[in-house]
Amino acid sequence: MKITGLIAEYNPFHNGHLYHIQEAKRITGADAAIVVMSGDYVQRGVPAVMPKRLRTEMALKCGAAAVFELPVCYATGSAEYFALGAVSLLHALGIVDSICFGSECNDLPAMAEIARILKEEPEEYRALLRGFLKQGISYPLARCRALGEYTGSAKYADIMKEPNNILGIEYLKALKELNSPVRPYTIRRKGAGYHDTSLVQGQFSSASAIRSLLAYSGAAFQTEQRGGTFEDNSFGGFLSELEGQVPDSCLALLKDYHRVQYPVYQNDFSLILKYKLLNKTPESLTRYADVSEDLANRICAKLNDFFNYRQFSELLKTRETTRTRIDRALLHIMLGTKKDDMEEYMANGYHYYARLLGVRKDRQKILAQIAKTSSLPLLIRLSESGDLPATGRKMLTNDILASNLYTSVVTDKYKTAFQNEYKQAVMKV
């Protein structure tokens, strides 16, 4: 049986993701697609708009054979850490023949050449990069300019300006780093741009646009006046806009769980973040991933101006530091992801378990095959984690804490019963 691996967030699942699953199986000749998916927090450094198990159910109903959770330390890392974490997990499963990712350019040879340059970092390229960074511009822009000058081609610089291209290049770097036999494929990203925030009828809208609509659908929940109801801003009014944008099975789930499990906002975590920051010093903050000395000083200096999570992140932004970098840094502080922990995980094989979130009932034989071929223990129930090494238990403890924190926010917001991560069952459809 041929298996292709997909790396995703499904935040939320939409028609473009359905196309990706179907097209990936077609061009790779795979019999099934296995997904490594971010859990309750995503790579942009924010909480997912809806819980991981709801997104898992959508993926399974739309053709994914199984969904594995990407540990939170990688899911919320930079593009490099995100890609290396996801690719190394697929590689370790032992049954994945290929990975297939979306890209704006759909030019695998050019992406492979960029991956080679970025991995080898020739001295001339590094000198150009240092020069641009000294001008005070952000790292992503400096890298684009250095790559363009080093290669003498604007084409390579343009490729590095698009988010899916960047992730794809990092996947290729990760495959090289692992010396993996897994073969890469790419398909062109169709429809609206990654950052477009408006729905586009007749083509694939971006996840950003769908999240914007879902956020608006929760506005009444945030601003409800005494004596008001949700009826004027009910989800039913948004169904017609989402029809044709998400698969029918996903639309039904969105309707069933609206204002029960989602939408979830960054600002829903405001008090938790402020609590975490109140007893920190600049020296203690620099222990966390993505937190530089300069950012740590700014956080402490501006803490009295903290109004909410999103506003504080915007307040910390500078010309040299992107908003996404700041969001990730604040999320690492809130979740307790430290630099030393990341170094320990990376130095000892990246992963210590493969945690299953969900599987299709007609594809459960894949699990037996993974159990035979994987270099990692297949973790279906958390009660089975007792034999993990100390580093693996630390990673899993951080994953569980992050998930319980997210679930606590959701259940408090929507007044539903809390269910500890230990009691959550694997999703089967």
Residue 91 annotated as binding? no
Q: Are 36 and 89 in contact (CB under 8 A)?
A: yes
Helices and strands in the chain: count of H runs, count of E runs: 21, 8
Q: Which residues contact 307 (CB under 8 A, 6 or more apart)?
A: none
Residue 267 annotated as binding? no
Please give the model's pTM, rounded to 2 decimal places: 0.93
| Domain parsing of the chain, residue ranges | 3-106+350-428, 118-177, 207-261, 267-340
Residue labelled with tokens 């695998």: 108
Supply the pLDDT for residue 405.
98
Residue 11 annotated as binding? yes
pLDDT tens digit sequence for 164-183: 999 999 999 999 999 999 99
CA dist., res. 366 & res. 343, Å (int): 32
Residue 66 annotated as binding? no
What is the rounded average pLDDT of the residues 35-40? Answer: 98
- Which tokens is 218 given? 């929760």
Supply the pLDDT for residue 243.
82
Sequence-ordered alpha helix ranges (H) in 218-355 = 219-223, 236-242, 248-257, 270-278, 282-285, 293-301, 309-316, 323-335, 339-347
Supply the pLDDT for residue 241.
79
What is the rounded average pLDDT of the residues 326-348? Answer: 97
Supply the pLDDT for residue 220.
44
Supply the pLDDT for residue 6.
98
Residue 164 annotated as binding? yes
Residue 19 annotated as binding? yes
CA dist., res. 143 & res. 159, Å (int): 11
Which pLDDT band holds residue 138 (cuts at 50, 70, 90)? confident
Which pLDDT band holds residue 216 (cuts at 50, 70, 90)? low
* Residue 382: pLDDT over 90: yes
Residue 189 annotated as binding? yes
What is the rounded average pLDDT of the residues 99-106? Answer: 97
Residue 16 annotated as binding? yes
* Residue 346: pLDDT over 90: yes
Supply the pLDDT for residue 206.
79
Q: What is the DSSP letter of 203?
A: S
What is the rounded average pLDDT of the residues 27-50? Answer: 97
Residue labelled with tokens 């081609």: 153
CA dist., res. 172 & res. 168, Å (int): 6
* Residue 237: pLDDT over 80: no
- Which tokens is 370 given? 């993974």
* Element at 102 (helix H, strand E): strand 98-103
What is the rounded average pLDDT of the residues 337-352? Answer: 95
Supply the pLDDT for residue 223.
34
- Which tokens is 362 given? 């007609």
Residue 18 annotated as binding? yes
Supply the pLDDT for residue 308.
97
* Residue 233: pLDDT over 80: no
CA distance to 134, 142, 145, 375, per residue, from 138 (Å)? 10, 6, 11, 39
* Residue 240: pLDDT over 80: no
Supply the pLDDT for residue 225.
33
- Which tokens is 403 given? 């998930």
* Residue 102: pLDDT over 70: yes
Q: Which residues contact 245 (CB under 8 A, 6 or more apart)?
A: 14, 15, 199, 205, 210
Greatest Cα-to-Cα distance within the chain, rounded to the nearest angstrom:
67
What is the rounded average pLDDT of the residues 254-275? Answer: 95
Residue 131 annotated as binding? no
List residues bridging with 176 in a β-sheet. Answer: none
* Residue 74: pLDDT over 90: yes
* Residue 327: pLDDT over 50: yes
Give DSSP secondary structure letters for 124-183: HHHHHHHHHHHTT--HHHHHHHHHHHHHT-HHHHHHTTSHHHHHHHHHHHHHHHHT--PE
Nearest-CA neighbor of 199 among 214, 188, 218? 214
Supply the pLDDT for residue 195.
56
Using a pLDDT cut of 70, give the percent of the chain over it: 91
Residue 10 annotated as binding? yes
